[in-house]
Amino acid sequence: MNKELNNQYYSNIEENKINSTIIEQAKQFAEKDFNQIYLINKPLGGDEDGYDYEDNCIVLLSPKHKIIFLDLKNDKDEFDEYYDEFIEDLGSISKNFKYKNSIGRPKEWKDGLTCKDTFEQDNFSLEKLLKDNKIEEKNLRRKCELLITLLIGSINDISNISIEEPATLLEKIKQKIVLFDGEQTRFIYKEFPQKVVNIQGLSGTGKTELLLHKLKEIYTTTSDKKIFFTCHNKVLASNLRQRIPDFFNFMKVQKQIEWDEYLWVTNAWGSTNKKNSGLYSYICHHYNLTFHQFNYVGMNFKKACQLALDEIKEIASINFKPAFDYILIDESQDFPQPFFDLCEKVTSTKIYIAGDIFQNIFENGVEEKIISADLVLNACYRTDSRTLMFAQAIGMGLFEKEKLNWLSDQEWQGCGYNIKKNNRNINLYRQPIRRFEDIENEAIPSVIIENDNDGVSNKVIEIIANIKSSHPTVKPDDIAIIFLDSGKYIYELANKLEFDILDKFSWEINKGYKSKTKIEDQLFISNANNVKGLEFPFVICVTKYIASDAKYRNTFYTMLTRSFIQSYLLVNDNKHIEVLKRGLTTINTEHCIKTTQPTEEELIKIHKTIIEINAKSNMSYNEFLYGIFNELNIELKYRNKFEELIPDAVDNKFDEEKIKEFINVNKDFYCK
Residue by residue, DSSP assigns 42-79 as S-TTSS----TTGGGEEEEE-TTB-EEEEESS--HHHH
Beta strands 447-451 and 563-571 are: parallel
- State the DSSP H helix or E strand holding residue 377, giving kind and residue range, or none if neither: strand 375-377
Average pLDDT value over all residues in the chain: 87
Q: Is the pLDDT of residue 364 over 90?
A: no
Contacts of 611 (CB under 8 A, 6+ apart): 364
| Fold type of domain 385-596 | Rossmann fold (3.40.50)
Q: Is the pLDDT of residue 358 over 70?
A: no
Beta bridge partners of 199: 354, 375
* Matching fold, domains 187-377 and 385-596: yes
What's the number of CA atoms in the CB half-sphere (13 Å) around residue 400? 19
Give the tens place of pLDDT for each residue, 529-552.
888 778 899 999 999 888 888 788
Contacts of 176 (CB under 8 A, 6+ apart): 436, 437, 439
Alpha helices in 444-547 (DSSP H): 456-470, 489-505, 512-515
Alpha helices in 471-562 (DSSP H): 489-505, 512-515, 550-560
Beta bridge partners of 264: 228
Distance CA 634, CA 127 (A): 74
Least confident of 238-242, 275-279, 348-352: 238-242
Section 633-656 average pLDDT: 74
Scored b (16 or more CB within 10 A) or e, 296-305 reads: eeeebbeebb
How sure is the predictor about 250, in pLDDT bands with cuts at 50, 70 and 90?
confident
Distance CA 207, CA 204 (A): 8
Distance CA 487, CA 604 (A): 34
Q: Which CATH class is domain 187-377?
A: alpha beta
Secondary structure of residue 185 in the 3-state scheme: helix
Q: Are 518 and 477 in contact (CB under 8 A)?
A: yes
Give the tens place of pLDDT for each residue, 102-144.
999 999 999 999 999 999 888 899 999 999 999 999 899 999 9
Higher pLDDT pick, 35 / 149: 149
For the beta carbon of residue 256, count every other beta carbon within 10 angstroms: 8
Distance CA 44, CA 255 (A): 20
How sure is the predictor about 469, in pLDDT bands with cuts at 50, 70 and 90?
very high
Distances (CA, A) of 386 to 127, 329, 418, 539, 586: 31, 29, 14, 15, 10
- State the DSSP H helix or E strand holding residue 152, giving kind and residue range, or none if neither: helix 138-152
Q: What residue ranges do the domains of the chain occupy? A: 3-165, 187-377, 385-596, 619-670
CA dihedral 234, 235, 240, 245 (to 10 degrees): 110
Nearest Cα neighbor of 463 from 509, 416, 506, 504 is 504
Task: Taking each helix axis as running N to C, give the angle between helix 138-152 and helix 106-113, from 0 to 180 degrees, rounded to the nearest 10.
Answer: 110
Least confident of 130-139, 250-259, 528-537, 589-598: 528-537
